[in-house]
Structure 1
């Protein structure tokens, strides 16, 4: 797994400053038939093609991870459901995500809860919102 763009396989954009996100993406193991998993830390690589694509499509990477697979994008709770469908079945993270797959409502609710916990952890660490937009950033006062 690396930050390089994958020509085959799956690319996953996440917030590298978030301990939950970091732990989750490093625990993901895809079934071999899906190829490699390229991890893209949106904070470290804001100019990456997929970060730009998220911006162009109005997908806020501060509110959800993004997956690209076979030319299709999966965002937020849908990305979690994607990983549930493509992960190694014996892995804990895959089992957790598969438990959510039974209900899109439950999946969305858990995703919102995890996002809130993520935000609290980032505030406690003194980390700003993830903002990969290319617009000029205002200096702090």
Structure 2
């Protein structure tokens, strides 16, 4: 049985946007749906009510399970095999490790916030 993956990210964040594009085009993950959270506000509000805040990290819905933040990135990176992008290969190798993901993920969240603030874009989606 094939898993179904929905990866939800902040489309205004340049880093998130690039990672999502790489996932969609170069990851070779089958059955993946990529959603820009800013274009899916109803879904974002529903996830926020369940405690999943896109402002604090990407969200991965894999079958019936919801992964958030570092756990979402770690889980999706573990599914990447032989990507056709050297950057995605590097990212997947770094973030396949639970320890490295927990170490580096807070830096990614800060970089996202700085990038959005420098562009005059709200970090909050709802």
The match for 1:66 is 59
- Structure 1 window deviating more from structure 2 (87-96 vs 20-29): it is 87-96
The match for 1:12 is 7
- Structure 1 window deviating more from structure 2 (79-88 vs 117-126): it is 79-88
Matching residue within 17, 30, 49 for 1:22: 17
Q: Is the 8 A contact 1:30 1:37 kept in 2?
A: no
Q: Is the 8 A contact 1:15 1:130 kept in 2?
A: no
For this pair of structures, how many residues does the alignment match? Answer: 120
Larger Rg: 1
Can you give the 5+ residue segments of structure 2 that lack an aligned partner in the other structure?
Answer: none
Question: Alpha carbons of 1:63 and 1:129: their partners in 2 closer, same or farther (altered >3 Å)?
Answer: same
Tell me how far 1:53 sits from its aligned partner: 3.7
Can you give the 5+ residue segments of structure 1 that lack an aligned partner in the other structure?
Answer: 1-7, 133-141
CA-atom RMSD, angstroms? 1.9
2:85 aligned with 1:89: no
Tell me how far 1:94 sits from its aligned partner: 4.0
